[in-house]
């Protein structure tokens, strides 16, 4: 790596790029990536900064087509060898999904680092500038190479696979679920731990098929599952209870979906511990696995959905899909 690492920022929006709208009192998109990076004192000393305005939207507005475009663009940047590290500025609400999508579909040793902010640029204690600084330090670090896509927020480095947003408002809003954080950034010093997280790669599909998440709760029937299939879902992810269990009504619907050739992945609505087949009664995880469902293991429902969409989009069969959920 040259002495001055080239850091390529890709701005997509989020609270980091928002200001309070005087008319409504709520935050709205307002600042470009260039304005954000120029406002960070000392950023130019971390590396040679290049900024690309990809979008300026709240992450809730991101569609799977956006993920495909972003993945193609970042693959181009790394293939052309035009950056030593890439920083993606992104809204925090959907950040873990976009980051995991890129982790699966963009094979590169070049660090790809996501960051954002919990407080808008109007806030007197805005966290955007320090997150940008930390993300740039990680993107510029030779030690960050070959570690997959990471999220850097509040001085912590998380793998895209293991991280999840756990707080709606605190600046320390992200946590890595099994094992702990990948590392830390303190005053520009990047330090990785020995934490390990599995990685899978799938070739980037041309299109992403519809996959829906069905939530298990007391008394739920199969209406949402059937509605998803009627809307054209080609795969389902179940946010089961406990280690990945459902009631009889969902069990029945899942069995019918499996019999119709729809892959079903069982995840859990519980953040820690992962999904695993333990019970044999109707709706228990073991019964679900016997019926042909795939277990998401450590992946939460929204990330299991990302992986199932990518696998289906790339044309994987039932066995190929099962092999993705390692």
DSSP structural state of residue 131: H
Q: Which is nearer to ligand ASP, 92 or 159 (CB)?
A: 92
Of 255, 253, 269, give the one whose Cα is nearest residue 304.
269
What are the tokens at 114? 């996501």
Phi, psi at residue 107, to the nearest 5°?
-80, 115
Q: Which is nearer to ligand ASP, 26 or 124 (CB)?
A: 26
What are the tokens at 10? 């890709």
Report, in Å, the least distance between residue 237 CB and ligand ASP. 21
Question: Is 98 part of the annotated catalytic residue set?
Answer: no
- By beta carbon distance, the residue nearest ligand ASP is 91
Residues of 39-50 as b/e, b for ≥16 C-beta within 10 angstroms?
ebeebeebbebb
Q: Which is nearer to ligand ASP, 92 or 141 (CB)?
A: 92
Give the C-alpha separation, 231 to 224, whole Å.
Answer: 10
Report, in Å, the least distance between residue 88 CB and ligand ASP. 12
Phi, psi at residue 267, to the nearest 5°?
-120, -170
Report, in Å, the least distance between residue 92 CB and ligand ASP. 3
| Cβ atoms 216, 246 nearer than 8 A | yes
| Cβ atoms 246, 240 nearer than 8 A | yes
Identify each DSSP E strand in 57-206 by its residue range: 85-89, 112-115, 149-153, 156-159, 163-165, 174-176, 183-186, 189-192
Report, in Å, the least distance between residue 97 CB and ligand ASP. 11
| Positions that interact with ligand ASP (CB under 6 A) | 14-15, 58-60, 91-94, 116, 118
Q: Which is nearer to ligand ASP, 165 or 289 (CB)?
A: 165
Report, in Å, the least distance between residue 190 CB and ligand ASP. 23
Q: Which is nearer to ligand ASP, 60 or 230 (CB)?
A: 60
Q: Which of 12, 15, 37, 115 is catalytic?
A: 15
Query: Hey, which residues are catalytic here?
Result: 15
């Amino acid at each position: 790596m040259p002495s001055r690492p080239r850091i390529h920022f890709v701005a997509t929006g989020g609270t980091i790029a928002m200001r309070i709208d005087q008319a409504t009192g709520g935050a709205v998109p307002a600042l470009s990536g260039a304005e954000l990076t120029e406002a960070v004192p000392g950023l130019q000393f971390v590396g040679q900064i290049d900024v690309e305005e990809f979008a300026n939207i709240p992450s809730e507005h991101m569609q799977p087509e956006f993920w495909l475009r972003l993945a193609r663009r970042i693959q181009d940047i790394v293939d052309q060898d035009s950056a030593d590290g890439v920083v993606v500025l992104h809204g925090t609400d959907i950040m873990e999904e976009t980051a995991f999508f890129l982790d699966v579909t963009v094979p590169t040793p070049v660090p790809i680092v996501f960051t954002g902010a919990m407080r808008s640029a109007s806030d007197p204690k805005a966290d955007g500038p320090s997150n940008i600084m930390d993300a740039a330090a990680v993107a510029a670090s030779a030690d960050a190479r070959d570690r997959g896509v990471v999220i850097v927020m509040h001085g912590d480095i998380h793998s895209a696979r293991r991280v999840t947003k756990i707080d709606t408002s605190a600046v320390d809003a992200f946590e890595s679920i099994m094992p702990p954080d990948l590392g830390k950034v303190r005053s520009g010093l990047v330090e990785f731990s020995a934490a390990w997280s599995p990685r899978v790669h799938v070739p980037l599909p041309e299109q992403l098929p519809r996959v829906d998440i069905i939530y298990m709760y007391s008394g739920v029937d199969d209406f949402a599952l059937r509605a998803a299939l009627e809307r054209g879902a080609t795969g389902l992810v179940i946010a089961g209870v406990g280690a990945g269990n459902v009631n009889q009504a969902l069990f029945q619907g899942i069995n019918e979906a499996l019999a119709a050739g729809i892959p079903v992945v069982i995840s859990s609505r519980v953040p820690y511990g992962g999904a695993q087949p333990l019970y044999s009664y109707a709706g228990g995880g073991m019964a679900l696995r016997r019926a042909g469902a795939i277990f998401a293991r450590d992946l939460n429902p929204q990330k299991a959905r990302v992986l199932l969409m990518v696998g289906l989009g790339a044309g994987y069969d039932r066995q190929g899909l099962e092999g993705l959920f390692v």
